[in-house]
Amino acid sequence: MPRTVYVNGRYLPYAHAAVHVEDRGFQFADAVYEVAEVWRGRLVDEARHMARLERSLTELEIPPPMSQAALAHVMRETVRRNRVANGLVYLQVSRGEAPRDFPFPKDVAPTLVCIARSIDPAKIAARADGGIGVKTMPDIRWARCDIKTVMLLPACLAKEAARREDAGEAWFVDESGLVTEGASSNAWIVTRAGRLVTRPLGHDILPGVTRRTLVDLLGIEGLELDERAFSVAEALAAGEAFVTSASATVMPVVRIDGRPVGDGRPGPITLKLRLNFHHAAAISEP
């Protein structure tokens, strides 16, 4: 089926969808984005993604390209036109196109792109069955990782380094040896006593929507949460580890830098949270 991409008001064939060479997203990474899961043809946690997008735009003083309701319509329509049953929908908003100059241009309309793509749920399930390895890397990102910008080069470098070592994700580690988050996920451990641990929100991590929904699920499941930073050594000594993201929901981590976590297999609490994740999420009708 031919793919369709939304660009600045039009739904275009994939091959013809383009933004200008002087788009500030391309020139300066002056752009933000959102990624939401499409699950059984429906959007997962749409309101939380929209709220985060609005916050990212506000922090960078990029005017919203349209109302939240209109943005949600574009996301749904892109999903529908591409007949995505399970997959991801991406919204990207840049400050717009203007002759190259660092300060913000005046009277420029933001650029809006929406892309939806299918992901085979069986492939993700197979990954989750075995769990993934992570590679730790120094966190070389900027001081506002709470804003979801397209400035993803450190994540690309980290993911590539991880891939070369057969690891499915990279974990960034701060100067104190504490894990900040994954290259495209939030990082969690389950202590041997069965308590969940994840880094508290701040400027050093993205406030993951999946992380937020998982906090709700922990309440439902009666599991205890400690929002505090943990070290790589603590993760290696933990019973279980996992990452959360829109693309992987709850993904077991079974190795860190080639060394096993727990018994080297996905842990029971992780798997239970993975199984029940969508019960705690808000699922929007198409």
Question: At closest approach, how far in Å is the CB of 185 from ligand PDD?
Answer: 5
- Is position 184 an interface residue for ligand PDD (rule: CB under 6 A)? yes
Residue 129's Cβ-count burial label (10 Å; 0-12, 13-18, 19+) is exposed
Of these residues, 106, 148, 159, 272, which one is catalytic?
A: 148
C-alpha 187: how far from chain center: 12
Q: Which is nearer to ligand PDD, 97 or 180 (CB)?
A: 180
Q: Does 158 bind ligand PDD (CB under 6 A)?
A: no
Residue 209 binding ligand PDD, by CB under 6 A: yes
7, 12, 29, 35: which one binds ligand PDD (CB under 6 A):
35
Q: For residue 133, give Cα distances in angstroms to 206, 257, 258.
A: 21, 7, 7
Pick between residue 182 and residue 266 the one whose CB is nearest to ligand PDD. 182
DSSP letter at 150? S
Query: Is 244 an interacting residue with respect to ligand PDD (CB under 6 A)?
Result: yes
Closest approach, Cβ 34 to ligand PDD, in A, equals 8
Rounded least distance, CB 90 to ligand PDD, Å: 7
- Segment lying near ligand PDD (by CB under 6 A), choices 66-74, 204-212, 231-239, 263-271: 204-212
Contacts of 15 (CB under 8 A, 6+ apart): none
Rounded distance between C-alpha atoms, residue 51 and residue 261, angstroms: 35
CA atoms within 13 A on the CB side of 22: 8
Task: Report which of 193, 260, 271, 265 is spatially closest to residue 225, judged by C-alpha positions.
Answer: 193
Neighbours of 121 (CB within 10 A): 13
Nearer to ligand PDD, 97 or 210 (CB): 210
- Residue 78 or 184 having the CB closest to ligand PDD: 184
- Report the distance separating Cα 93 and Cα 50, nearest Å: 12
Amino acid at 144: R
Can 148 be counted among the known catalytic residues? yes
Give the residue with the Cβ less far from ligand PDD, 211 or 255: 211
Catalytic amino acids? 148
Q: Which residues bind ligand PDD (CB under 6 A)?
A: 35, 181, 184-186, 206, 208-211, 244-247
